[in-house]
Amino acid sequence: MALIIFDYDGVLADTLDDLLQFGQEACDQLGVKHLVTKDDLSNLELMSFATYGRACEVPEHLIDQFVKISLNLFAEKESPPAIFDGLSEVIKHLSSKHKIAIVTTNTSQNVHTFLIKHGLDSLIHAVYGVDTPGSKAQKISMARERLVENGEAVFMIGDALSDIRAAKEAGVTSIAVTWGHQSLETLQHGEPDYVVHSPKTLIGVIERYNI
């Protein structure tokens, strides 16, 4: 049995269009003259709503408001985001043998709403969102301390350079996915332990490693 930790935005949830739209709405509400594009996300060293706001040229004194507006727009969205093709089946398969957690810079409430919509909430052991104090590496460590009993393997699955670096800081195995918000070139700067290009590939990597 292993502990498998997923990032949320760009790994489980297909939130790119929402992030671009909500980032633009937040800029507009704050009077920031910036045209939001995918480039604002794709090259971030640290993936968070605060760093996203800075990439969108939001002044530092307005960053907290940018974060609040963006998270509220996600919470107010009529329907939760789509899940990437194949991931529901992958999570159901992995959860039959392993423990699963989510570590994210989104809110736990938004994540649970998403999981409920896609019938996955009962399969996830813990969610550590922006409402949980600590860095991403600290939250990975929290999940390990709470959910790992006998020294089992721990994996962090992310779509951002900061996910890979957080995994390394926490001393767990890093898996970079290429269907999310950052390019393979950016991800490789973090020297991930594994790179996967499709959700089903995750099963082979985890089960081969965890034999």
**Percent share of the chain, pLDDT over 70:** 99
Q: What is the pLDDT of residue 210?
A: 58
Per-residue pLDDT at 145 exceeds 80? yes
Distance set, CA 125 to CA 74, 120, 151, 170 (Å): 23, 11, 17, 19
In 10 A of CB 107, how many CB atoms?
19
Q: What is the pLDDT of residue 136?
A: 96
DSSP lists the bridge partners of residue 44 as none
Q: Give the pLDDT band (50/70/90) at residue 8.
A: very high
* Residues 6 or more apart in contact with residue 175 via CB below 8 angstroms: 155, 156, 157, 158, 192, 193, 194, 195, 196, 202, 205, 206
Q: What single letter denotes the amino acid at residue 25? A: E
Per-residue pLDDT at 169 exceeds 80? yes
Q: How far apart are CA 117 and CA 170, in angstroms?
A: 31
Q: How far apart are CA 97 and CA 99, in angstroms?
A: 7
pLDDT digits 0-9 by tens, 78-127: 888 999 999 999 999 999 999 999 999 999 999 999 999 999 999 999 99
Please choose, from the candidates 148, 202, 196, 203, the residue with its C-alpha nearest in 3D space to the C-alpha of residue 170: 148
Q: What is the pLDDT of residue 155?
A: 97
What single DSSP character describes residue 83?
Answer: B
Per-residue pLDDT at 25 exceeds 80? yes
Per-residue pLDDT at 211 exceeds 90? no
Give the orientation angle of helix 199-209 with respect to helix 87-95, to 10 degrees.
Answer: 20
> What is the bridge-based pairing of β-strands 154-158 and 3-6?
parallel
Read off the pTM: 0.88
Q: What is the pLDDT of residue 77?
A: 87
Q: What is the pLDDT of residue 31?
A: 97
Q: What angle do CA 28, 33, 37 make, to 5 degrees?
A: 85
Q: What is the pLDDT of residue 45?
A: 81
Tokens in use for 140? 């990975």
Please choose, from the candidates 1, 3, 8, the residue with its C-alpha nearest in 3D space to the C-alpha of residue 136: 8
> Contact 5/177 with Cβ under 8 angstroms?
no
How high is the mean pLDDT of the chain?
Answer: 94
What is the distance of C-alpha 148 from the center of its chain? 21
> Contact 40/211 with Cβ under 8 angstroms?
no
